Structure 1
């Protein structure tokens, strides 16, 4: 990823796949043991197959809100985890339920349409992660949804453009989208904006966002048009 150093020169920052994480069905609320989720993910060794619906062997329980071709893979970054470590969280790969833990970029700077390539795999960024109560329960903190919102470090969902194998240690090539009109950080913040503008909503809809994002913002645009 291109960054600018203190001398003003552009340089290429290496991006790397740190960990591949797989989740099994597991209870997340001790008061309701029948409620299960695949959010508890653990690093695995060796190569893991990635197809258009995600990682082989990874559990997706609530398919209404999770998974599918446009949210097949969730990524979080060591750069973002550094923030949480400074905030007192004992971080480890897979802590936030991500499939892939990467380094070399902050997730909020990515944009829908950006692509990440490693080995034979190509992923296309589609949406920021919007936190839910399951996430808060997993973290053991009812206020964690608000903490995650305020931190502005959402991680990134991605669709699978090219299938293949993922393995810790692979170098990642960053391929920016041509139309980078809104960062994931701005797209994430828009979810919590009480008075979004029509221009903001139309910008999101102009990007190759996940289908759930598209449906949400298409409905929101209809509401804004009724108000005008």
Structure 2
């Protein structure tokens, strides 16, 4: 099956969606196409890399290395079976719902040509309380973490238009072979994975430094 964009999704901030009724833009709805661009830094930047998509908690979301979020339709279908409910495209708060692409098999740093845009895989999504509240499933964050297939954040290397039905072409794949779930394990406290990720220097400067500090606190 040719890897394609099944759905392009954007969300507006609204109250009562996040934990304790906080505002969130996790409720993403399908649109025909979007413009993507580098949003700049988390603080003081544009937030999302997707024009028309809101980012509420800029401390944890948005910025150049988290400009666009992609999830495989196949992963949504897996969880739909487990939870015995239909999970629509955009349910995980993703901007791009793919089909025929192993998003969680992506190597950090690999580049995708999608429409007229060039995107680069930067790492995993970290589940939060807002995600748990939105899903409404008991123990959701723990269950999602245990599975470890989070989808991938993407940076926008070249701005452009991404539309429903666009082919996803993998142009480059780094030789280090560190896939998104391995980085997720590192960020969740796996010291062996962390050493591997730090040694390969696959994260941006901010997240690399944060992981170094985390490892230092855990190492005798």
Same fold (TM over 0.5): yes
Question: What's the counterpart of residue 164 of structure 2?
Answer: 168
Q: Aligned to 1:55, what secondary structure does the other structure show? A: coil
CA distances 1:65-112 after superposition (whole Å, capped 9, x unpaired): 000011100000112112112212311110000011111123321121
Instruction: Tell me: CA distance 1:202–1:48, structure 2 relative to 1, closer, same or farther (3 Å).
Output: same
3-state DSSP class of the match of 1:74?
strand
Relative to structure 1, the CA distance from residue 109 to residue 118 in structure 2 (aligned partners, 3 Å threshold; closer, same or farther) is same
Give 3-state SS (helix, strand or coil) of 1:14's partner. coil
Contact 1:70 1:211 in 2 (8 A): no
SS of the aligned residue for 2:191 comes to coil
Q: Conserved in 2, the CA contact under 8 Å of 1:127 and 1:210?
A: no
Contact 1:80 1:107 in 2 (8 A): no
Q: Among residues 78, 85, 88, which one is paired with 1:83 in the alignment?
A: 78
How far, CA to CA, are the matches of 1:81 and 1:31 in structure 2? 22
User: What is the alpha-carbon root mean square deviation over aligned residues?
Assistant: 2.0
* Structure 1: runs of 5 or more not aligned: 1-12
Report the secondary structure of 2:62's partner residue: coil
Structure 1 position 181 matched with structure 2 position 177: yes
After TM superposition, the structure 1 = structure 2 runs for residues 18-167 of structure 1, keeping only pairs within 5 Å, are 18-29=6-17, 32-33=20-21, 35-45=22-32, 47-53=33-39, 54-87=49-82, 88-167=84-163
- Does the CA contact (< 8 Å) of 1:28 and 1:138 recur in 2? no
Give the alignment's TM-score, normalised by structure 2. 0.87
Please state which structure has a larger fraction of its residues in strand.
Answer: 1
- The answer on whether the counterparts of 1:181 and 1:203 sit within 8 Å (CA) in structure 2 is no
Q: 1:178 to 1:192 in 2, by over 3 A?
A: closer
Give the Å deviation of 1:141: 2.3
In the alignment, is the contact (CA less than 8 A) between 1:72 and 1:159 conserved in 2? Answer: yes
Distance 1:28 1:210, change over 3 A: farther
Q: Structure 1 CA distance, aligned partners of 2:212 and 2:78?
A: 33
Pairwise CA distance, 1:142? 4.2
Alpha-carbon shift at residue 149 of structure 1 (Å): 1.0
Unaligned runs of 5+ in 2: 40-48
Aligned length: 209
Q: Residues 184-217 of structure 1: CA distance to partner in whole angstroms, max 9, x if unpaired?
A: 1222223334x513xx324313243245532321
User: 1:30: how far off?
Assistant: 8.2
The TM-score, its normalising length taken from structure 1, stands at: 0.84
Max Rg structure: 1
1:147 and 1:16 map into 2 onto residues whose CA distance is 28
